[in-house]
Amino acid sequence: MASFKKTALPILIKIALGLGIGGVVVLMSIWDPDFIRRVDYLTTDYRFQNRYDRIDTLDAYKADFQQRSNVIIVGISEEDLKAMPDAFPFPRSYYAHLVENLNRAGAKVIALDLTFENVGREDSLFDAILQTYDNVILAVKIESDIGAGRFYLRSTERTYSNVFYKPGRRVGIVSVAGKDNDEVARRYFPLMAVGDYATPTFAFAALNVGFGLPDTATADIREESFVIGDRIIPKFDEYSFLLNYYGPDKTFRYVSFTQAIDDSLFQTKDEKEMEEEINLFDEGTMGLFKDKIVLVGSTMPEERDFHNTPLYDPFKPGEITTMNGVEIHATAIQNILDQAYIVRADRNVEIALIVLLALVSFFIILPIRKIKFRYVLLLELTALVVVVLFLFGIFEVALLSFQNSNLLINIINPSLAVVLAYIGAAVYQYLGERQQKALIKNVFSHYISSAVVNELVANPEKAKLGGDRRELTVFFSDIAGFTSISEQFHTKPEGLVELLNEYLDEMTAIILKHEGTLDKYEGDAIMAFWGAPIPQKDHALRTCLASLDMQKRLTQLRPKWKKEGKPALEVRCGINTGVMIVGNMGGKDRFDYTVIGDSVNLASRLEGANKQYGSNTMISDFTYQHVKDNVIVRELDLIQVKGKTEPVKVWELLGTADLHMTDGRRQSLELYHEGLKLYRARSWEEAIAYFQQAKQLDPTCRVAEIYEQRASLYQLNPPPANWNGVFVMTTK
């Protein structure tokens, strides 16, 4: 029995781990985080494009589609503006004439993607036409994307922004609301709320006419579908269905506004100038509209009615993948008439597939990794090949299902299950072969001092891996004018690398000397923090001392760099103390021990704010309260940094409490602080005098000149009565 338990337990642990991986992915699919959703959008778009790219002859496909399509678009373009006798916006008699022509040609539905929000020329003519015909759809807009939820009646009459709306006339919402958070229009809403009433969207208002439904009819919302007439449309989410694009912009047949209006009773500009009839609206044109749903809309760029779609035109590489709003409505109409819907795979089947893939891939990958083989890299590559084969299989099945059946199978979550199974196998093996002390040393040795690493190895309970809320002090530094410095080395970039490496090496040594944690380098910028992973009660003071040591070391290095013909670097530092999240963070393949949170962001902003005040090291009041008995500072300002609503007092760090200061510099500091009090009390003239004296006694007090300028400006143009002295930063 003991032998059986010894054998069965590892297997049960592996099964539990595989199921756990699958469960994690299932939970993530339910949670649907934004970054996964965005990648999922890309895979959906790729399927649309792949299906379109597989069409052998695009011209023949387009011609065939336009021949069978039930929808024609009358587009108003810039060429039509040139052809019309009157300037745009056209007199309403033009649209009256257009509706007459289209009805004479036998159009089944005429949907005007024109909002007519203001009174125009010859409105009475158009109003009379609308009174005559019941197959005309008027366009209305909404201010925000409101779904088809519950509607509560507060008024007895419908009201719409279109000036031609009257009870009984048909309206449709033209706002393209089905955009995802990457601004791509993949979905379509059957109805939305305008005021107190559920109102059909533009495509559904047109279909109401086609299906003989009342003007106020809206799609029936059921648990898994929308229903209009005898058409059942599968839901994508509670309010919308997925658009099944037939191609990029201009896949539908377009007829120009001029061609649709120019008959024997209408004269274009050319006809008037040449005194000769052209009459583009002839029998051939009339035949195009017979029994069609005709959408009329602007295609002019200045109207800004174009939207991102999942498809691009292969004949226009590099262009933005946009489509006129009127053609998006046409796509929705044709989808419903064709009953060509994109259907999501059954949720329960997807969950079962995720769990199965997690188990199978885990049990295939783990034995490969555990093989005792001299060439470990080859084993790793073999395991990766297995992962790639799984991912390729998932991708191909999803592509073929979409291509052949319009079935949308989720790619990301099954793929994530395989990737996490690979990582899970690696973790399982790693934890079985490594000791905890070796793990801690490997994790932390890259970014903290050797003394701290040894302490962690000796006392691993002091290091809590993962995110943790703690009060720490964070430090940011940046080289002033680094872009200009870089330009000096444009002919010899290796010189810049040599200088930067020397600078970073010197600064890093100081951070580690004060037992700080080096977070990262970003170009010339350094980020570090104190108080983790080993708690330090004096983390704020350690940070300040490290910053002062850096400035001192830079003072020593500048003569050397000048002698070598290198620029003398000036460095700005920002320091803040506060509660933040600290721990191992990152992706599945790489993580960093770092800090995140508003307190971190504030330190970064303070580093940049130095530029406004001519200071080298700026610390927040939160840090100052921890170190005020140990340092000498100069109060700078009350600032509101970009992205924050509450102001914070900031100080310039000058030195430690035992700093030797000349009488002149000490007196300058006192005069400056007195001037600052007068400035905030609106005693501009007296404040200016104090700032001038402070600047004369200590030329390094650059902020005195800034306040002198501010006070001078306020003398001429005083601030409002509620002015509180806060300076709002508009840049990072």
pLDDT tops 80 at residue 446: no
- E-strand ranges in 463-612 read 468-479, 517-522, 525-530, 571-586, 591-596
Which of the residue ranges 415-429, 437-451, 524-538 has the most confident prediction, judged by mean pLDDT? 524-538
* Two structure tokens written together for 242: 């997925």
CA distances from 305 to 308, 336, 474, 692, 719 (A): 11, 23, 47, 58, 44
Instruction: Provide the 10 A C-beta neighbour count for residue 623.
Output: 30
User: Among 377-391, 448-462, 539-553, 712-726, where is mean pLDDT lowest?
Assistant: 448-462
CB 402 within 8 A of CB 338: no
CB 489 within 8 A of CB 603: no
Residue of 56 and 329 predicted with greater confidence: 329
Supply angle C-alpha 577, 582, 583, rounded to 5: 160
CB 589 within 8 A of CB 387: no
CB 641 within 8 A of CB 600: no
pLDDT band at 179 (very low <50, low <70, confident <90, very high): confident
The torsion region of residue 564 among left (phi > 0), alpha (psi -120 to 50) and beta comes to: alpha
- Using CA atoms, how far apart are residues 246 and 331, in angstroms rounded to an integer? 7
> Is the C-alpha dihedral spanning 617, 621, 622, 625 positive or negative?
positive
| CA atoms in the 13 A half-sphere facing the CB of 559 | 4
pLDDT tops 70 at residue 9: no
* Two structure tokens written together for 86: 């009157």
Question: What is the reported pLDDT for 52?
Answer: 84
CB 368 within 8 A of CB 429: no
- What are the φ and ψ backbone dihedral angles of 93, each rounded to 5 degrees? -65, -30
What is the per-residue pLDDT across 98-151, written as a single tens digit (0 to 9) for each? 999 999 999 999 999 998 988 888 889 999 999 999 999 999 987 654 444 444
pLDDT tops 60 at residue 437: no
Encoded amino acid at 105, one letter: A
Chain centre to alpha carbon of residue 695? 46
Encoded amino acid at 694, one letter: A
Residue of 151 and 352 predicted with greater confidence: 352
Helix or strand run (H / E) with residue 200: strand 197-200
- Using CA atoms, how far apart are residues 600 and 577, in angstroms rounded to an integer? 8
- Using CA atoms, how far apart are residues 459 and 250, in angstroms rounded to an integer? 69
Residue 262: is it exposed, middle or buried by C-beta count within 10 angstroms (0-12/13-18/19+)? buried
Q: Average of pLDDT values for 342-348?
A: 85
Question: What is the reported pLDDT for 319?
Answer: 61
CB 203 within 8 A of CB 333: yes
- Using CA atoms, how far apart are residues 534 and 725, in angstroms rounded to an integer? 39
Pairing of strands 726-728, 631-640: parallel
Question: What is the reported pLDDT for 146?
Answer: 45
- Using CA atoms, how far apart are residues 604 and 289, in angstroms rounded to an integer? 63
Peptide bond into 89 cis (omega under 30): yes
pLDDT band at 7 (very low <50, low <70, confident <90, very high): very low
Would you tell me the crossing angle of helices 2-31 and 412-433 to the nearest 10 degrees?
140
Q: Average of pLDDT values for 282-311?
A: 88
- Using CA atoms, how far apart are residues 704 and 608, in angstroms rounded to an integer? 19
Its pTM stands at 0.56
pLDDT tops 50 at residue 8: no
pLDDT tops 60 at residue 29: no
pLDDT tops 70 at residue 439: no
CA distances from 321 to 149, 186, 250, 309, 316 (A): 31, 13, 12, 6, 9
Average pLDDT of the residues of the chain = 84
pLDDT tops 70 at residue 317: no
CA distances from 41 to 30, 405, 411, 621, 671 (A): 16, 19, 10, 45, 61
Q: Average of pLDDT values for 589-618?
A: 88
Percentage of the chain with pLDDT > 70?
Answer: 84
Is 254 in a helix, a strand, or coil? strand
Q: Average of pLDDT values for 227-253?
A: 92
Residue of 16 and 614 predicted with greater confidence: 614
pLDDT tops 90 at residue 211: yes
First to last CA, the chain: 67
Question: What is the reported pLDDT for 293?
Answer: 96
- Using CA atoms, how far apart are residues 294 and 94, in angstroms rounded to an integer? 16
- What are the φ and ψ backbone dihedral angles of 212, each rounded to 5 degrees? 70, 35
Residue 4: is it exposed, middle or buried by C-beta count within 10 angstroms (0-12/13-18/19+)? exposed
Question: What is the reported pLDDT for 6?
Answer: 41
Q: Average of pLDDT values for 2-7?
A: 41
What is the per-residue pLDDT across 62-95, written as a single tens digit (0 to 9) for each? 999 999 999 999 999 999 999 999 988 899 999 9
